């Protein structure tokens, strides 16, 4: 008798995600101890040896709950019992979470920093994350509520750098069914309506499905996939346009910028601002809109001050107009 259908589906997703990874490479799974990431860990432990890969795990203790350190030790023990090696606990300090995105963003940044560090130190070529189709749908709705552009509405990428998300095509219900019989726990933060994602999960999505019928998460995930393809194409155009607009002495040629389609030009401007020193997480759509006005709606306004101490201004040099972005001294 083969595995249960849900277990088989998760294993198949992991098997497909491991294709193309060089033989002998260490693959880590990021595991919180919840059903999704535990099912992923179990599938990795099963599939990695069959693909000629090594499999390990990392659990991150954010220190946000009483007993979190003990919980992390228990999760690590579960990972070892599945046959993963090496297994590590990474303890992080989340901070106040007073910036853009609040405590959720602060915890996410700390978690990814810990995973990056562990992967680099252990020599892992890939880190698997347990996000599901439902997580993708929630991400799209959160981006929509923020008034974000196509890149944000495109949700999470299945592959980005060393990170892979094998379960984005599977529902949370399927993945949780695959975790049946494994020791798991549900993070109470996932039900805490002080957090935006919890409100989307428990309040917004059920209302949408009640009003519109079943299949809303799947539709949102399809929308994310379509928008990701569009955003990837626009980003590729923007890279070429950025190179064409860049001047040897620095700055961007206004004549070139003025010829670009708005969707490409704003991407060029964002790229230039980040290159000049703007922290990407602090550079909002409104900042980019004001940058664009220096190109398309200039009527004598002075320099624009951007996050990270970056200054943007129109400059006329030897008869040529340039948008100059410079870091503060």
Q: What's the confidence (pLDDT) of residue 93?
A: 78
pLDDT band at 318 (very low <50, low <70, confident <90, very high): low
Please state the domain extents for the chain: 5-220, 246-327
The CATH code of domain 246-327 reads: 3.30.465.60
Of 64, 166, 60, residue with least CA distance to 115: 60
Q: Is the pLDDT at 246 greater than 80, yes or no?
A: yes
Dihedral angle, C-alpha 217, 220, 221, 225, nearest 10 °: 170
Instruction: Record the tokens describing residue 116, joined without a space.
Output: 């990056």
Q: What dotted CATH number matches 5-220?
A: 3.40.50.620
For residue range 39-89, what is the model confidence (pLDDT) as tens digits?
999 999 999 999 999 999 999 987 667 778 899 999 999 999 999 999 999
Residue 2 near residue 8 (C-beta atoms within 8 A): yes
Residue 267 predicted with pLDDT over 60 = yes
Identical fold between 5-220 and 246-327: no
pLDDT tens-digit series, residues 154-180: 899 999 999 999 999 999 999 999 999
pLDDT at 289 over 60: yes
Residue 70, class by beta-carbon neighbours within 10 Å (0-12 exposed, 13-18 middle, 19+ buried)? exposed
Across residues 300-327, what is the average pLDDT?
A: 86
Contact between residue 80 and residue 50 where contact means Cβ atoms under 8 Å apart: no
> Do 247 and 254 meet the contact criterion of CB atoms below 8 Å apart?
no
Give the number of other Cβ atoms within 10 Å of residue 260's Cβ. Answer: 21
Per-residue confidence at 226, pLDDT binned at 50, 70, 90? very high
SS3 184: coil
């Amino acid at each position: 008798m083969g595995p249960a259908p849900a277990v088989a589906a998760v294993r198949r997703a992991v098997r497909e995600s491991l294709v193309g990874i060089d033989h002998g490479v260490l693959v880590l799974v990021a595991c919180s101890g919840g059903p999704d990431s535990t099912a992923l860990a179990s599938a990795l432990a099963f599939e990695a040896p069959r693909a000629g890969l090594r499999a390990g795990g990392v659990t991150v203790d954010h220190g946000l709950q009483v007993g979190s350190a003990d919980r992390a030790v228990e999760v690590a023990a579960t990972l070892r019992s599945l046959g993963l090696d090496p297994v590590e606990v990474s303890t992080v300090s989340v901070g106040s979470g007073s910036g853009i995105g609040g405590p959720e963003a602060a915890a996410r940044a700390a978690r990814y920093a810990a995973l990056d560090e562990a992967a680099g130190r252990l020599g892992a070529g890939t880190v698997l994350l347990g996000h599901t189709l439902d997580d993708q749908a929630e991400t799209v709705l959160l981006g929509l509520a923020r008034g974000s552009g196509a890149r944000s509405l495109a949700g999470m990428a299945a592959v980005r750098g060393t990170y892979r998300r094998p379960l984005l095509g599977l529902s949370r219900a399927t993945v949780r069914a695959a975790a049946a019989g494994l020791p798991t726990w549900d993070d109470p933060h996932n039900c805490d309506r002080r957090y935006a994602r919890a409100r989307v999960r428990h309040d917004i999505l059920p209302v949408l499905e009640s009003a519109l019928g079943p299949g809303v998460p799947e539709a949102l995930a399809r929308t994310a996939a379509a928008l990701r393809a569009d955003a990837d194409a626009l980003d590729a155009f923007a890279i070429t346009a950025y190179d064409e607009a860049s001047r040897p002495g620095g700055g961007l040629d206004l004549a070139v910028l003025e010829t670009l389609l708005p969707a490409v030009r704003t991407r060029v401007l964002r790229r230039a601002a980040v290159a000049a020193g703007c922290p990407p997480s602090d550079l909002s759509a409104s900042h980019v809109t004001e940058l664009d006005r220096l190109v398309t709606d200039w009527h004598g306004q002075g320099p624009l001050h951007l996050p990270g101490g970056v200054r943007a201004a129109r400059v006329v040099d030897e008869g040529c107009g340039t948008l100059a972005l410079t870091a503060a001294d």
